[in-house]
Chains A and B, each alone.
Chain A
Amino acid sequence: MADISEDQEVKVAIETAETFVNTYYVTISKPHAIKEIPDFYVKPNPESPLKPDISLNGNLISSPSDLEAVFEKQPPKTHYEVQSFDCHVLNRNYNVGVPDNVLEMNKHGRKMSIMVTVSGSVRYGDGADIQGFMDSLVLVPNWEAYGKPHKGKRRWLVQSQTFRLVL
């Protein structure tokens, strides 16, 4: 296993978290982008049967494709805004569902799981009250895009999400 400095890890984690928060909350704000939401999550396949664990306001979402139905109920002009986020490297050598050929490979410190917490506000429609939300996510590598040109595929996917309106 290549030895990656802690600085490097932290940097990758922050960049990953930043990219995620900058795209995810824009996507769930846009009615026409609802179809893209499932793309943010881990997809179980025979090689890695792990399903993402998604809990939104206490509702368990059994599969990312069900997310469309959830976010469809949001009124037009819903707007999520990220006001604060933070992240930790959880496992610096994450291997769940990893293809055998990359089991031992960890170049550039990109084979980790990252916990991200987000604090922000949301307005469900024009003129609606502004509400606060907290989101805790675990991001893991997208093995399909790992170590190769990603061709528009997301490099990181949500493995676990616990979202709550807190105000």
Chain B
Amino acid sequence: MPPLFCQTQLFLWPAAFRSQPAHITINTHKGTVSKLPSLWFLPQHLFYDTLSHTPLTPTTSTTESNNPSIIVRRTDRTSYKQTSRVEHTLIDIMQRSSPAPRGPRNSSPSIRGRGGIQKRKAGPTRLDRDGDLVMDAAAAGEKRRSGRGHVGSDTPSRGQGNGRGRGGQGRAASQKLLQAQAAIVRGLNAKLPQANVLESRITSTDSALQIDGLSSSKAASNPDGGVESLLAFLERKASAHDPKSKPVKIKKSLKKGGSVIITASPDDVLAIQKLNGYSFAGADLSITACEPPSSRLEKPKDEVSVSAQETKERLRGVLASRYDANLKLLNLAALAQDPGLIQMGVFDGSTTTSKIFPALMVVCDGLFKTRSEKREAIVSVTLADNDLVDVKDVAALAQTFPDIKNLDLSRNKIAQLSSLDAWGTRFRDLVTLILTGNPIEPSLPAIKSDLVKKYPHLEILNGVQFRTPEEIASTIEATKYPIPLQTPDFRDVGQVGENFIRQFVALYDSNRSALLTNFYDDESVLSLAINMAAPRNPKQILPIAPWAPYLKYSRNLVRVNNLPTQMSRLHRGSQAINTVWSALPATRHPDLQTQPEKYLIECHSLPGLVDPNGQSARGVDGLIITMHGEFEEENDKPEQALRSFSRTFVLGPGGPGGPAIRVISDMMTLRAWGPLALPRVAAVGGVPLEAAPAVTEQQQQEAFAQQLVLRTGLTLQYAILCLTETGWDLEKAFVAFEANRHKLPTEAFANSNFQ
């Protein structure tokens, strides 16, 4: 039987199509050849959520972005000299949280990093601060309460200070500002109880007891020498003494010769001491107070610790006097003139900040447990009036406070942008930068783009807004997507891709066997792979439904390495595919028409596919379609129903007796759900289908001509001829073609370029 010409040539593109430039460069690529603009019309509002730059915290945004001059005002050092009650609270935290450090010895601030300090938080020297701690905590509580009450009365004086410093702020405006600041302080205070708990856990000083008599008890013959049962006994009995209080807990124990040394909190030690003379397993216990075991070990170092700690305390004092809780500002301006630092003699012989600064930063680091705590507490830093030629001496700032939003470098000696290189790529969140009074100032307009590159969120320079948030957003987008996101590149031919996708989405949900009949044959190959490691959007994380239903089909070749499994997870032919599809959970895909933003679908032609009729040795053309989207899965946990998927299809002409267009290859990848990265701008020229302008007659005729080309293999020219003769009736034209095909010259048919 001679092969049906129209089938073998079904996928040969019309010559006219080929001669068109198939490629458009990035720059000119605005309107891709898309037969489906409407489907991929993307409402603009959808993108602002995911792409807007990190918002300022609500409190700071009111303060900072509306008052560009605020930073300048803060550089007035006089306003920090007064120590408000709120600041007292801060000082309290700073002081209480002091772990006993070895710290900078004899004013030599050589320590770096937090490890050393933290390690000693549980160290022995905290003994020295035993009594202080309790009092301190109570006092702090007292101050905290009063601090909260006094914010209102305290702040006006600050307002005056501001007025002196800058003179430009209206009283009413600063009043409004102060209210905002009061809210910040309340927020800060609200965090304190938690800090207290942490403090007490870390610094509360344990006492030790020596217990004798275990060796003569019956328990001494236990495998562990009876320690375990002795401890249990002590805890039980001591707790029984005062049933109302919380149970006594022994924290550490150490067997030393015939005695056992235990450590517990002071309260518990008191309770345990009452057990002196109790009888345990036939022996009388003798309980006496002693030094905690570890403290004896480190005793010789106490001398150093004390002096180092003193240095640290003084630095802490300096920092406390320079911190403004209201503005969340750490004022490190004019360090060389700081009376506290001068008193400590740190500038003896040299006036640089290089020595003291890292030490200050180490102390700062020790005050915060997490980066987010730091981010919360310190939003702004001023380094004004420090004679800085570059930032090498203050490089530690970038490590300690990488997330600050406002930075003041006024009146230093910075001459070029490279002077800031010591900070590397930190301060990515910087919104405000002040370089007033530096040699660099006149050249700032020229280096705007470099500045922006360094600080992508920079909005206010020297108190002047120089970029709009929109500009910032688009710049950030360019950074996030170095290969810009364009609207889907859907280069369909004769609507083959569109028709397939429409049917696929609908039928995969409702009738998979009909889908198989329409598009799959015995040569179709299907496989699926799970990418369990796929990244997720940290802002939109949903629980993941178990992968179990898909797992035994997953052909993720990163993981599946043995050939038999690789073979068995490749499904060839409608029947095999049907077996897989009937086992996979039922799905619901978003509607293509009403939720186009849930999909990204692209396609283009693909040469060199198998000619199912064996006519063309060099193969026939087909279509490769990629579809990214999501579906809801039918399972028993509706809140875990969403999955993200990508599917790649290769479509080609079908063989005799099969579907006219068949799926040659169908590959699915499944991922945990995440929103698609969509292009920010709405599709250029994209209009909703409903609003599409009426199809002109010419367009209609072109569409008919292309369909006829596809069905008959005629050239576009002959197809148009044929249609003209049959009054542009597609069916009549096809019938006429069938009847006259043998009479047509060979040049009437579009042959493959490759034949």
Contacts and interface: CB of A to CB of B under 8 A. Distances in A.
Contacts of A78: 482
A75 B478 CA distance: 11
A125 B557 contact: no
A160 B624 contact: yes
A122 to B, nearest CB: 9
A84 B487 contact: no
A123 B530 CA distance: 21
A87 to B, nearest CB: 7
Interface string A122-139: 001111111110101010
Contacts of A130: 535
A146 interface: no
A7 B567 contact: yes
B555 interface: yes
A26 interface: no
Given A88-B570, A132-B535, A55 B489 contact: yes
A89 B486 CA distance: 30
Contacts of A144: none
A128 B479 contact: yes
B482 A74 contact: yes
A33 to B, nearest CB: 16
Interface string B647-691: 010100000000000001101010100111101000000000000
Interface in B298-324: none
Contacts of B583: none
B563 A7 contact: yes
B566 to A, nearest CB: 6
B604 A115 contact: no
A166 B558 contact: no
Contacts of A51: 22-23
Interface in A85-136: 85-98, 103, 113, 115, 117, 119-121, 124-132, 134, 136
Contacts of B533: 83-84, 121
Interface string B553-576: 001111100010011001000000
B482 A73 contact: yes
A18 B557 contact: yes
Nearest to B602: A162
Given A103-B617, A159-B608, A85 B529 contact: yes
Contacts of B567: 6-7, 10
Given A10-B563, A57-B485, A117 B646 contact: yes
Contacts of B479: 75, 124-125, 128
Contact of A95 (B608, B644, B665): B608
A36 interface: no
A2 interface: no
Nearest to A97: B754
A35 to B, nearest CB: 17
Interface string A34-67: 0000000000000001110101111111110010
A70 interface: yes
Interface string B507-536: 000000000000000000101111111111
Interface stretch (B24-32, B125-133, B348-356, B706-714): B24-32
A82 B669 contact: no
A131 B677 contact: yes
A96 B482 contact: no
Nearest to B526: A88
Contacts of B559: 84
Given A51-B22, A58-B32, A87 B557 contact: yes
B480 interface: yes
A119 B610 CA distance: 27
A96 B425 contact: no
A40 B96 CA distance: 62
A153 interface: no
Given A96-B607, A115-B648, A58 B679 contact: yes
A91 B26 CA distance: 31
A51 to B, nearest CB: 7
A164 B23 contact: no
B588 interface: no
A157 interface: no
B26 A70 contact: yes
B669 A115 contact: no
Contact of B650 (A62, A74, A115): A115
A158 interface: no
Given A57-B486, A115-B650, A129-B480, 5 more contacts: A60-B29, A73-B482, A159-B608, A164-B602, A164-B677
27 contacts: A10-B570, A14-B566, A49-B753, A50-B754, A53-B23, A53-B606, A57-B486, A60-B32, A62-B23, A73-B482, A84-B534, A84-B559, A86-B528, A86-B556, A94-B619, A95-B619, A98-B618, A113-B609, A120-B531, A136-B667, A159-B606, A159-B608, A162-B624, A162-B626, A165-B677, A167-B536, A167-B675
